[in-house]
């Protein structure tokens, strides 16, 4: 089955209702074997394109993954990027900010880890946490040293979120203008599927480490998180740095969709190794003659 990427893309300014967005898709493969073969083709092609990205040395690629707990961010990164040269790819996960990070603006700690030209950077969670978890848990906002006029009563001033959306879009526009291509994935998981995956983590001793009581506590805020995601996706998806809402209830399908989007983006960049000029060709010819002797 062909993957129609545009059905997952969020258009600039589009009103998002996540209840109306499916967390599943029709099967993309006939069997597990078919899935493995298809994903491997994607992985091999991505490896080739990553080498061209490095040789071309004009662009960087930043992949951003956001989702509720157990949506499969780690698995998508692991499987889709399995064939990429580790020297050309960096993965960063952003947890609760440190005391030092809280002394800076909300974009500071993530901009330090942006990818260099020729490389792929992956943010497992990102600066978008500052308009998601911080919006759901206002006590975090109050600990960030934000000037009082921006806060309103206990962080209820809506202008602070509009301002942060604007700062994010401006940052991404700046990065795009300087050669960084940004792709943003929201792995859209249903609350019921999350429940099943939590039970699996509890029942499987090898997965116990993935589960904590805090995960259950966050489920109570599901409606607030969905509202925060809806407004964030609508406000920050642009032509140059789009959001994709990827159905995540079926892991194999979500990984294929993610890999297809990454490939499509890299293919559209017209990557090519640099061509040698006349002087360089003359130099290589002389070196070759020397080696041949």
pLDDT at 149 over 80: no
Q: Max Cα separation, the chain?
A: 81
pLDDT of residue 212: 86
Compute the average pLDDT of residues 171-194: 98
Ordered DSSP codes for 53-82 = HHHH-S-EEEEEEEESTTSSHHHHHHHHTT
- The structural domains of the chain, with segments of one domain joined by +, span 5-292
Could you tell me the two tokens for 67?
A: 């989702």
Close Cβ partners of 95 (under 8 Å, ≥ 6 residues apart): 125
CA distance 48 to 51: 5
The CATH number that domain 5-292 falls under is: 3.40.50.300
CA distance 244 to 198: 25
The pair phi, psi for residue 13, each rounded to 5°, is: 75, 0
Nearest-CA neighbor of 225 among 188, 171, 184, 199? Answer: 188
Compute the average pLDDT of residues 20-25: 96
Compute the average pLDDT of residues 108-133: 96
Q: What pTM was estimated for this model as a whole? A: 0.92
| 246-278: pLDDT as tens digits | 999 999 999 999 999 999 999 999 998 888 788
pLDDT at 107 over 80: yes
pLDDT at 26 over 60: yes
| 51-74: pLDDT as tens digits | 999 999 999 999 999 999 999 999
Phi-psi sector, 10: left (phi>0), alpha (psi -120 to 50), beta: beta
Confidence of residue 144 (pLDDT cuts 50, 70, 90): confident
pLDDT at 187 over 90: yes
Compute the average pLDDT of residues 93-110: 89
Residue 185 per-residue DSSP state = E
pLDDT at 155 over 60: no
């Amino acid at each position: 089955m062909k993957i129609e990427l545009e059905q997952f893309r969020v258009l600039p300014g589009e009103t998002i209702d996540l209840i109306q967005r499916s967390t599943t898709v029709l099967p993309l493969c006939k069997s597990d074997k078919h899935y493995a073969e298809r994903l491997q083709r994607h992985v091999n092609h991505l490896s080739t394109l990553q080498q061209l990205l490095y040789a071309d040395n004009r662009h960087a690629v930043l992949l951003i993954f956001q989702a509720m707990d157990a949506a499969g961010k780690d698995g998508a990164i692991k499987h889709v990027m399995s064939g990429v040269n580790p020297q050309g790819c960096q993965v960063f996960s952003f947890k609760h900010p440190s005391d030092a990070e809280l002394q800076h603006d909300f974009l500071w700690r993530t901009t330090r880890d942006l990818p260099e030209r020729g490389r792929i950077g992956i943010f497992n969670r990102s600066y978008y946490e500052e308009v998601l978890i911080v919006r759901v848990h206002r006590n975090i906002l109050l600990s960030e040293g934000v000037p009082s006029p921006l806060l309103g009563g206990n962080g209820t001033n809506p202008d602070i979120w509009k301002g942060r959306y604007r700062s994010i879009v401006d940052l991404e526009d700046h990065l795009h203008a300087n050669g960084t291509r940004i792709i943003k994935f929201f792995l859209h998981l249903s609350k019921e599927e999350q429940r099943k995956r939590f039970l699996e983590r509890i029942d499987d001793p090898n997965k116990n480490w993935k589960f904590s009581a805090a995960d259950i506590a966050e489920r109570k805020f599901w409606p607030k998180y969905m509202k925060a995601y809806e407004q964030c996706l609508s406000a920050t998806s642009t032509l140059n740095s789009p959001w994709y809402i990827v159905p995540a209830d079926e892991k194999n399908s979500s990984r294929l969709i993610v890999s297809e989007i990454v490939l499509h983006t890299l293919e559209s960049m017209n990557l090519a190794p640099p061509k040698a000029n006349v002087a360089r060709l003359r130099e290589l010819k002389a070196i070759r003659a020397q080696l041949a002797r």
